[in-house]
A and B are shown apart, each in its own frame.
Chain A
């Protein structure tokens, strides 16, 4: 049992030379590894998921052993999924985003949306592995390429709404009941890489953009509430962000290798959010006083040495990944410090930039960027696809992070990069989208 190791270091301001620059968006074609005897063996097992009885987790104190199979008492990962269906969207373009509607009760069918090309398609998962296309929205602009989408609902009618954005940086708010785009938000100077709704406030939409900023919009009053970015903001494309469960903080990450935490529970921000919900543009001639926050409450560049393309909160811990075949679980400040006091325990007003790395989830063949992992609703499972079409599935429901196991899901027909995965609310269905315009449905085997 390896000890919990801490990697506490101070942030250095020197611009380190980045790794060989990767082409944006043009994710390089995955090299085919022929020496993967494991994979070949796995391929024989057809559509069923194969299990790898090893935790690829590794601690940073043992860098030499990373990537090798660490011998652990072989314990079966209890997660087993079976590929029940896959279908291909007819545009043939990569599907970058998939989101399951979680604003529903458990009895409701699983509804999910995919973002690809200039389309947003809404599907329903039915019994027996069926996937039914419910609606598809096609953007009037043929140049649009949607990267991401997010679900919310109208607080009055409780009808689901779907926000989608992508290359053009125009955020579209689609109403499923009206079957049309009811609103659009212009303002981002460049592509939008991720959208998230606030977990508590269904009106607040977070958009994460290539223009180095994050914005929070009130979709029901159509105002831009908050801009996060500026002098101390991201210095390159922001790629991903996530709210905590309470919505009081958010973490963002981007191409500048940094991860930043922004507190949203300051009085200034809470005031502007409250004001935004009351704002009526027809009544006055003043634009909404959008607040700009230039200063994140925490910033680090020590976790990753490359583009950080996905991050999620796991309680007070942060999961983030770069294109380094590793998802890092870490927290700001020293390990023993309380999460709330870590930022202001210094007298000299100097922000504490130390981080504590708790665990690394290692995997293979995921060196391209814009690959998103996902957690299920209960935050007990984590799934990530790689560039050769495999899905790694971790069981986080363990006492000790070192004991986490992963299952590798593979399908002989799935050989292109899996951009994003999504769990249904009950965790019994795992959906994945790939670069060959395919949607893969994996159902849990009990």
Chain B
């Protein structure tokens, strides 16, 4: 479906009556509906059965996620060496000790009403071993406490200096054959509670301050023992199964989950508990409203305690993936807001004197017809011009984004002139969905690298001209021809077989004979001779030449005697032949000596037969 268009501007600006709008819409559809349908169809066909990948196009290079830079220097033999080197490096890295330093900034929970200034924080490491299934009697996850410290609750941001804050360090050892492969950190915060806390406000429920306390009890999220400290926790994964480090250096702000409901309320058996529903919150609100803990995390390789690097150059970052949703740094996401792009499509239509237009604003570089996401504006315009030639596109630069004027290309030749067999002549039917088939052997230039001007938007400022129009590279007969006789389409390899040669077909001989037979005022002898003569004149010699001119008649006469002399004598038609020759003389086709000579040839033939 087309996205909705809204009429913005009409040049004559009539009153926008409903009738007018409808008629306008009708005109719009009339102009754009058909090509759009075609392009939608082509798009879905391309999705199902792509002929090419857009990233292979020169103006879509950015779509390709893999660069080809190494290709030039690539040698097949180098694969083993590079893999071995990588393996070696990994091995060295693993054998090293990495020490992890976590410096806490503080525990932030604005809803907690506590008079305590410090909360206890404990970091545990969770290691998941991968044992063989049979021997795994129980879970082999081990939980080791790395240490405990006290961190301030809700410190002022300025007061917390990272250098002298509470910190925990731990040394990770990578034993090579270790079964424990993935490891995670578990941060546990114990927050002591004020004793005479009003019921129900002990927990950080943000949405329901006005909710009656009794009701809140029922949802089981509230601690029933107000005297107990509140427990919060969060898990962070350090290594994944492939022993890749997911936790890079940097400052972390981690949303803590309330661990309290893990304890079932007394008097209740197991029942469904609603887990803290963070879904209700916007992704970044969680940091404001839920309890969080802030800490700096730093890896020191090989036990060296250099604090110089802030870790952004650490090789681990190269494969840093967003581990948990909440652990993403908020700043990292919001510090680089994308430049808002406004692309205005102006659809112009209407007949001659009354041009109308409708506009549609888009904020991305997706093609409106095939929703292909183009990496650049240049790529989009190039794509539009090349893939949607049923339209004309003209680019008008504006302050932000630009404007693309779309008109229906009246010059577009949508008639199907190509030979359908030519479509497959390059590749045969080798890509048939019905299995492999024989390719037709064809020699064509299939790699062609023309000199391309650099990517510049100026070429889209004016309509395509004949010179700049992108023509197909394979030129030649791109038409479907038909055999004259059978009206069947001519295959490319049959093109040299001239079926149009106007030779004397066999049926014409037959028909001539039949038509001569149908004369009623001619005697049988005359008919026989006329048949022989007519067929002789119609006949072609071995070179394909037939008699076409009067000057050839003498030659035809001699040839006739040579070829049919015996038959003439056998059928006793020599007098008929003589009359025929005289008749030719009467019509000034032959000279008298030709008559004499031709008949003499026949006489000679008769004599030689009589002798024999």
Please list the residues of chain A having a beta carbon within 8 angstroms of any beta carbon in chain B: 186-189, 224, 227, 230-232, 281-282, 285-287, 290, 292, 294-295, 349-350
Are A287 and B491 in contact (CB-based, < 8 A)?
yes
Chain A residues near B19 (CB-CB < 8 A):
none
Q: Answer whether residue B449 sits at the interface, using C-beta atoms and an 8 A cutoff.
A: no
Q: Which residue of A lies closest to B513 (CB)?
A: A349
**Are A287 and B494 neighbours in the complex by a CB distance under 8 Å?**
yes
A224 touching B486 by the CB < 8 A rule? yes
Choose one: A227, A232, A286, A294; the contact of B486 (CB below 8 Å).
Answer: A227
Given contacts A294-B511, A295-B507, contact A187 B494 (CB under 8 A): no
Given A224-B486, A349-B517 in contact, is the A294-B493 Cβ separation under 8 Å?
no
A-B contact pairs, 9 of them (CB 8 A): A186-B487, A230-B507, A286-B497, A287-B490, A287-B494, A294-B507, A294-B510, A295-B510, A349-B517
Closest-CB distance, B38 to chain A (whole angstroms): 14
Point out residues on B near A: beta carbons under 8 Å.
438, 440, 483, 485-491, 493-494, 496-497, 499, 505, 507, 510-511, 517
Closest to A283 in B: B438
Provided the pairs A187-B488, A287-B490, A349-B517 are in contact, do residues A292 and B507 lie with their beta carbons within 8 angstroms? yes
Residue of B nearest to A294 (CB): B507
CB distance from B527 to the nearest CB of A (A): 11
B489:A281 contact, CB within 8 angstroms? no
Contact indicator A290/B497 (Cβ below 8 Å)? no
Q: Looking at the assembled complex, report how far the CB atom of A314 sits from the nearest CB atom of chain B, in whole angstroms.
A: 31
Q: Main SS of chain A's interface residues? A: loop
- On whether A290 and B485 interact (CB within 8 A), knowing A231-B507, A282-B438, the answer reads yes
Assess whether A285 is in contact with B487, with CB atoms less than 8 Å apart: no
Specify which chain B residues have a CB less than 8 angstroms from the CB of A189 in the assembled complex. Answer: 487
Contacts of B499 in A (CB 8 A): 287
Contacts of A187 in B (CB 8 A): 486-488
How far apart sit A104 and B331, CA to CA, in the bound complex (Å)?
77
Chain A residues closer than 8 Å to B486, beta-carbon distance: 187, 224, 227, 287, 290
Name the distance in Å between A379's Cβ and chain B's nearest Cβ: 34
- Expressed in whole angstroms, the Cα–Cα distance for A188 and B485 within the complex equals 11
CA distance in complex: A281, B440 (Å):
11
With a cutoff of 8 Å between Cβ atoms, the chain A residues found around residue B489 in the complex are: 186
Report which residue of B440, B496, B511 has the largest number of chain A beta carbons within 10 angstroms of its beta carbon. Answer: B511
CB < 8 Å neighbour of B487 from A188, A230, A349: A188
Are A287 and B507 in touch, CB under 8 angstroms?
A: no
Instruction: Give me 14 other A-B pairs in contact (C-beta within 8 A), A285-B496, A287-B486 excluded.
Output: A186-B487, A186-B488, A187-B486, A187-B487, A224-B486, A227-B486, A230-B507, A282-B438, A285-B491, A285-B494, A285-B497, A287-B497, A292-B485, A292-B507
Hey, which chain A residues are within 8 Å of B483, CB to CB?
Answer: 287
| B517: chain A residues within 8 A (beta carbon) | 349-350
Contact residues in B for A292 (Cβ distance below 8 Å): 485, 505, 507
Across-interface contacts of A186 in B (CB, < 8 A): 487-489
Knowing A285-B493, A285-B497, A287-B497, say if A224 contacts B488 (CB, 8 Å). Answer: yes
Select the residue from B483, B485, B496 with max chain A CB neighbours within 10 A: B485
Residues of chain B within 8 A of A188, CB atoms compared? 487
**Closest chain B residue to A222, Cβ basis:** B488
A contact residues around B505 at 8 Å (CB): 292
Residues in chain A near residue B488, CB distance under 8 A: 186-187, 224, 287
Contacts of B487 in A (CB 8 A): 186-189
B420's closest neighbor in chain A, by CB?
A186
The interface residues of chain B lying within 8 Å CB-to-CB of A350 are 517
Q: Which residue of A lies closest to B434 (CB)?
A: A178
CB-nearest residue of chain B to A268: B506
Q: Which of A187, A189, A287 has the most CB of B within 10 A?
A: A287
Q: How far, in whole Å, are A232 and B438 apart by their CA atoms in the complex?
A: 42
For residue A349, which residues in chain B have a CB less than 8 angstroms away from its CB? 517
Complex: how many Å from CA A290 to CA B499?
A: 11
Closest B-chain residue to A178, C-beta based? B434
How far, in whole Å, are A137 and B499 apart by their CA atoms in the complex? 35
The complex places the Cα of A290 from the Cα of B483 at a distance, in Å, of 11
A286 touches B510 (CB 8 A): no
Q: How far is the CB of A297 from chain B (nearest CB, A)?
A: 13
Chain A residues with Cβ under 8 A from B507's Cβ?
A: 230-231, 292, 294-295
A90 to chain B, nearest CB (A): 24
Docked CA distance A349–B510 (Å) = 13
Complex interface: chain B residues within 8 A of A285 (CB) = 491, 493-494, 496-497
5 interchain residue pairs of minimum CB distance? A285-B493, A294-B507, A187-B488, A290-B486, A187-B487
Give chain B nearest CB distance to A269 CB in angstroms. Answer: 13
Partner of A231, one of B491, B494, B496, B511: B511
Query: A368–B490 Cα gap in the complex (Å)?
Result: 39
B472 to chain A, nearest CB (A): 24
CA distance A224 to B485 in the complex (A): 11
CA A294 – CA B488 in complex, angstroms? 18
CA gap between A189 and B485 in the complex, in Å:
11
Task: Tell me the smallest distance from the CB of A289 to a CB of chain B, in Å.
Answer: 9
Chain A minimum-CB-distance residue to B507: A294
Tell me how far the C-beta of B579 lies from the nearest C-beta in chain A, rounded to whole angstroms.
24
A186 CA / B486 CA spacing, docked (Å): 9
The chain A residue with its CB closest to the CB of B496 is A285
Chain B's closest residue to A284 (CB) is B493
- Check if A281 sits within 8 Å of B491, measured CB to CB: yes
The docked-state distance in angstroms from the alpha carbon of A292 to that of B490 is 18
Complexed CA–CA distance, A287 and B488 (Å): 10
A290 contacts which chain B residues (CB < 8 A)?
A: 485-486
Interface-centre pick from B489, B493, B496 (highest chain A CB count, 10 A): B493
Which chain A residue lies CB-closest to B488? A187
| Min CB gap B519→A, angstroms | 13
Cβ-neighbour of A286 out of B438, B485, B494 (below 8 A) = B494
Q: How far is the CA of A44 from the CA of B436 in the complex (A)?
A: 64
Nearest-CB distance from B485 to chain A (Å)? Answer: 6
A133 to B557, CA, bound (A): 72
Neighbouring A residues of B491 by C-beta, 8 Å: 281, 285, 287
Whose C-beta in chain B lies nearest to the C-beta of A182?
B434
Residues in A neighbouring B497, C-beta threshold 8 A: 285-287
Q: How far is the CA of A73 from the CA of B604 in the complex (A)?
A: 81
Contacts of A294 in B (CB 8 A): 507, 510-511
